[in-house]
Structures are given as structure tokens and as C-alpha cells.
Amino acid sequence: MHVVYPGSFDPFTNGHLDVTRRAARLFGKVTVAVLENPSKRGQYLFSAEERVEIIRESVRDLSNVEVATFQGLLAEFVKAIGAQAIVKGLRAVSDYEYELQMAHLNRQLVPGLETLFILAATRYSFVSSTMVKEIARYGGDVSKLVPPATLRALKAKYG
């Protein structure tokens, strides 16, 4: 089964990597889909191209994982690449409430499209990209929260 793991991944964290690794063990092919939202271009720390490169380096040992960008509706992207399902990581109840709505909407757009949830590993359940950026911005140590490729990119951005 081919699944899509979508997100902005700005930046890619160890929590994202954990969900990717677990999905790769469960499914034949995983496409990590990096959202490229032109209306939010100035709000991202990393460009879509930078995020793709960071993720590719982080998953290079996973032969059944590819990384791509997408714009527009996720359901249409999933359909266009021939994937059968969406995989989402959940950290908390608040994630579930939002993702449940999105799952129902995506199934309305593409009937039969399933969304599968992978619960965050406990050690990553508090990690968010927003918090990682905030800590890194002020010189805090995020080395236990992100893969080496992300750490290098954050150091390059923040000095």
C-alpha cells in the first residue's frame, strides 16, 4: 500500500522522523509530502526546497520513502500520485479533533480515501516545529529534538 504523510515540516523533527519510520515499516511506499503554500511563503523558516532536502537526508536509509512537494488540496495530490491513504501523526487530543475534520473532508473530496493515525511516541509527544524554532531562535539546544540535517539547517539560519 502506498501512503502519503503530509505536512509543512518547518522544520522536520524527530517526531516527524519517528512517524515516517513507523509508516515505512507498515506500508510498501511512503511519500512524505511537503506542503508548499504560496500564501504562507514568508511565514516559513525554510523554503519548500530546503525542507525537502532536510527530509531526504533524514530518511536516506529508508528505501521505500520518497519526498515530494505539493500545492492545493491534499486529497487531489494523493489521488494524482496513486496513493491509497493518508498517514497523520497525533500528539494530543487537540491534534485528533483537527485531523478528524480533515479526514472527513478528504473522504468527501475523494470517496474511499482513508486517513490512518499513528500516535506519537511518548518521548516526542511534546515536540512541535513551532517550539523547536522558538528554542533554536534563542540559542537553545534542540539536538535531541531534531535529526542532524535539521540541526545543521537551524544552525545555519540562526548562527
What is the set of active-site residues?
Answer: 16, 40, 91, 129
Answer for the pair 59, 67: CB distance below 8 angstroms, yes or no.
yes
Q: Is 9 marked as binding a ligand?
A: yes
| CA diameter of the chain | 47
Whole-angstrom distance, CA of residue 48 vs CA of residue 69: 7
Q: Is 129 marked as binding a ligand?
A: yes
Q: Please count the residues of the chain.
A: 159
Q: Is 91 marked as binding a ligand?
A: yes
Closest alpha carbon to 95 in 71, 70, 66, 129: 129
Q: Is 74 marked as binding a ligand?
A: yes
What's the angle, vertex CA 59, arms to CA 56 and CA 62, rounded to 5? 125
φ and ψ at residue 33, rounded to 5 degrees: -105, 115
Q: Is 88 marked as binding a ligand?
A: yes
Q: Is 45 marked as binding a ligand?
A: no
Q: Is 126 marked as binding a ligand?
A: yes
Q: Is 90 marked as binding a ligand?
A: yes
User: Annotated binding residues, as ranges?
Assistant: 8-9, 16, 40, 74, 88-91, 99, 124-130
The annotation places the binding site for ATP at 8-9, 16, 89-91, 99, 124-130
Binding site per annotation, positions for substrate: 8, 40, 74, 88
